Structure 1
Amino acid sequence: MTTARHLATIDRLRALPFPRAPGPAPPDSPGYHLAELRTEERVAPDEEREQCAAERDAVAVVLGLRWGAPQTFSLWSLTARAADGEEIPEPWAALSRRVDDIDLWRRDGRWVAIGVTRAQGDDPRRLLVAVTAADPP
């Protein structure tokens, strides 16, 4: 049931129009949707990573059957480029602050990215999805 809920969320986000980019962005800047797929379940901290990774893998298998194998995209370079002062467009900047790597598909003019957040203090790991028309930098 969890995989089905995650897929329904992804499908809903893909169908929604994008909101206007926040801040002083030009009106034609591509918007995006960023959502946490896995938030409600609590497991022991040493099991969080495995649980989130298993859920990501299950979603990736189904999306792979629909759209083909994902690209695996490391966000490390975006983090390094941002640290050097480069402005990274959203949602890629937000993802790179929270996720090490993503599974990525392009379908119908939109990118779909899923990834597991890094451990940050007491915050539980999360399974994130981003849907955007903006190409990865």
Structure 2
Amino acid sequence: MDIAKCLSVIGSLCAGELPLEDGGSQAGAAGAGYRTVELETSHETREDLARTRERTAEDFQACRDAIAERLDHRWGRRALWGQLTVRVRLSRGEEIPEPWATLALLTDELDLWQEPETGRWVALGVAHRDEADETRLLATVTETPPP
């Protein structure tokens, strides 16, 4: 994984326009005030053994940590955002705004910053909760504060 390329994509997300309404994009999911991109996707783990999938998730976590370390230097120390509470709130019928509801279903935890120049929230996480889906390293930029 190319850390510099991932940082460039995150920088572009922070500086770019965010959609005014819901709708997907070729680069990932997008909706009113947010955009999520896949920085890395594993195409071999969909039907692979659990051990291979676990190893891929660990590799993606290591990449996430490397990106987060650089973003810490840029924006200050990240907050670790566990997703269990958000999933419980969703299961009880509470309305959680996007992109946070979807991220809670895909990831166990997020690294989270508020980008100082734009005030946008930047989330970085590994989506590996669904064993029928590929493992993905996700970056999200949103104007909506975390719930």
The TM-score bracket by the shorter chain reads 0.7 to 0.9
Q: Call closer, same or farther: CA 1:69–1:41 in 2, change over 3 Å.
A: farther
Q: Call closer, same or farther: CA 1:41–1:62 in 2, change over 3 Å.
A: farther
C-alpha contact 1:32 1:130 (8 A) present in aligned 2: yes
TM-score by length of 1: 0.88
Runs of 4+ in 1 over 3 A off after TM superposition: 40-44
Determine what percentage of the aligned residue pairs are the same residue.
Answer: 40
Q: CA deviation at 1:41?
A: 6.4
Q: Structure 2: any 5+ residue segments left out of the alignment?
A: 24-30, 46-51
Match of 1:87 among 95, 110, 119: 95
C-alpha contact 1:30 1:134 (8 A) present in aligned 2: no
Equivalenced residue count is 132
TM-score by length of 2: 0.82
Name the CA distance, whole Å, in 1 between partners of 2:140 and 2:71. 14
Name the CA distance, whole Å, in 2 between partners of 1:58 and 1:18. 26
C-alpha contact 1:7 1:59 (8 A) present in aligned 2: yes
Partner residue, 2:36: 34
Q: Structure 1: any 5+ residue segments left out of the alignment?
A: 24-28
Give the RMSD, CA atoms, in angstroms: 1.9
